[in-house]
């Protein structure tokens, strides 16, 4: 696995606490861009090139996670969820509390099945019934190491599963941030291109709203992940996307409550993919949104496209994706931006 990709996947950065991830991304973008800054909201905004148009690439860098809410008299930690997490994936997970005094390792505990009554076994487990065990014997001992409000991430993991398939924490959407960095390295467009690693996407698409208002681009391209359907229990009518079959071109999100990609942008994406022979898949999303949902409604409306990397086990401690789809995303994004910049520039002459 590429070392930069591994580093980005492993970095901490739940929504609202993205500083560590932002530092890595900023450092990488500085290698290829003319100017990089972190705005007051926490977004990393990089600028490259000159031209009559402004084009924005957005990839959110926040990840789902937890936050310390309460410490019991026996030293166990209760928590709230940050972002959309299925309670069932939390049981027995290893976590890292990002304390000001240093990382504190723990694991999520639950009443064992041996002691559960029959009615308890039939009831869906809730995160409010779970706790984090850091090995403390008292409330005082725990509070000497952590504070209420400390962010909690799943234990970092990243590596190669098999062949082109890789796994890691925070695949949604650090793999998109990695792709954005690679796009900016390769991009040569007659335009002012902004790469934005947005914050707080998982809790309301917030960073996309503030950054796109500031930049006010002529065109925006969002890089994110989407649900792969090539695992058991997912039917093809729910998702027909497969790892390794190419970048996903999103047409509509959340049955229309999210971004609805315009015909003009759809044809631009499809045209570039076909002209360059880039593998792609079509993605119609019934649930879930990307930063595109906020960007395309900003100001007087912004032409916006969404390219997504199919991913298994989204919003869990470990996701799985194909580097082939990452490469296809980078190549298509580069082609789309360069074509839009060239065509629009000609029209403005």
Domains of the chain: 3-63+169-348 (3.40.630.10), 65-154 (2.40.30.40)
pLDDT category, 344, cuts 50, 70, 90? Answer: low
Determine the length of the chain: 349
Report the alpha-carbon distance of residue 253 to residue 222 in Å, rounded. Answer: 13
Beta bridge partners of 45: 37, 196
Q: Which of 113-122, 150-159, 213-222 bottoms out in mean pLDDT, i.e. has the lowest?
A: 113-122
Given this model, what pLDDT does residue 115 score?
A: 66
Coil, strand or helix: which one is 285?
A: coil
Candidate list 18, 63, 192, 201, residue with the active-site label:
201
DSSP 155: P
Annotation says 201 is catalytic? yes
Report the alpha-carbon distance of residue 280 to residue 264 in Å, rounded. Answer: 18
- Average pLDDT over the chain, rounded to an integer: 95
Residues 22-43 have a mean pLDDT of 98
Cβ atoms within 10 A of the Cβ of 235, count?
Answer: 8
Q: What are the CA-CA distances from residue 314 to residues 86, 247, 272, 330 (Å)? A: 10, 16, 28, 21
- Percent of all residues in the chain with a pLDDT value above 90, rounded to a whole number: 92
11 contact partners, CB below 8 Å, separation of at least 6: 20, 21, 24, 156, 170, 174
Residues 270-291 have a mean pLDDT of 96
Which of 20, 147, 15, 176 lies closest to 81 in space, CA to CA?
Answer: 15
Each residue of 197-220: pLDDT tens digit? 999 999 999 999 999 999 999 999
């Amino acid at each position: 696995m590429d070392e930069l990709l591994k580093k980005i996947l492993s970095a901490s950065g739940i929504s609202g606490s993205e500083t560590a991830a932002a530092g890595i991304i900023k450092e990488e973008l500085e290698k290829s861009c003319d100017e990089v800054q972190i705005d007051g909201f926490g977004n990393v905004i990089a600028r490259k090139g000159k031209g009559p148009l402004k084009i924005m690439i957005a990839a959110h860098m926040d990840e789902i996670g937890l936050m310390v809410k309460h410490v019991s008299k026996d030293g166990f930690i209760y928590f709230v969820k940050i972002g959309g997490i299925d309670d069932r994936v939390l049981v027995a997970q290893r976590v890292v509390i990002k304390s000001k005094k240093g990382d504190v390792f723990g694991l999520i505990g639950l009443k064992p099945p041996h002691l559960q009554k029959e009615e308890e076994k039939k009831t869906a487990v809730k995160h409010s019934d779970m706790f984090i065990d850091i090995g403390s014997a008292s409330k005082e001992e725990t509070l000497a190491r952590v504070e209420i409000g400390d962010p909690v991430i799943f234990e970092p993991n990243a590596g190669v599963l098999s062949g082109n398939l890789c796994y890691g924490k925070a695949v949604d959407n650090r793999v998109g941030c990695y792709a954005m960095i690679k796009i900016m390295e390769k991009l040569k467009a007659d335009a002012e291109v902004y790469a934005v690693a947005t914050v707080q996407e998982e809790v309301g698409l917030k960073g996309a709203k503030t950054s796109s208002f500031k930049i006010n681009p002529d065109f925006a391209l969002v890089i994110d992940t989407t649900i792969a359907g090539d695992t058991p229990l997912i039917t093809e009518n729910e998702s027909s996307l497969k790892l390794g079959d190419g970048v996903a071109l999103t047409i509509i999100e959340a049955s229309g409550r999210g971004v609805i990609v315009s015909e003009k942008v759809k044809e631009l994406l499809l045209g570039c993919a076909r002209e360059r022979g880039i593998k792609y898949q079509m993605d119609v999303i019934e649930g879930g949104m990307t930063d595109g949902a906020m960007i395309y409604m900003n100001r007087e409306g912004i032409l916006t496209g969404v390219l997504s990397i199919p991913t298994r086990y989204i919003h869990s401690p470990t996701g799985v994706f194909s580097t082939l789809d990452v490469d296809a995303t980078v190549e298509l994004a580069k082609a789309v931006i360069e074509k839009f910049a060239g065509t629009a520039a000609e029209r403005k002459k």
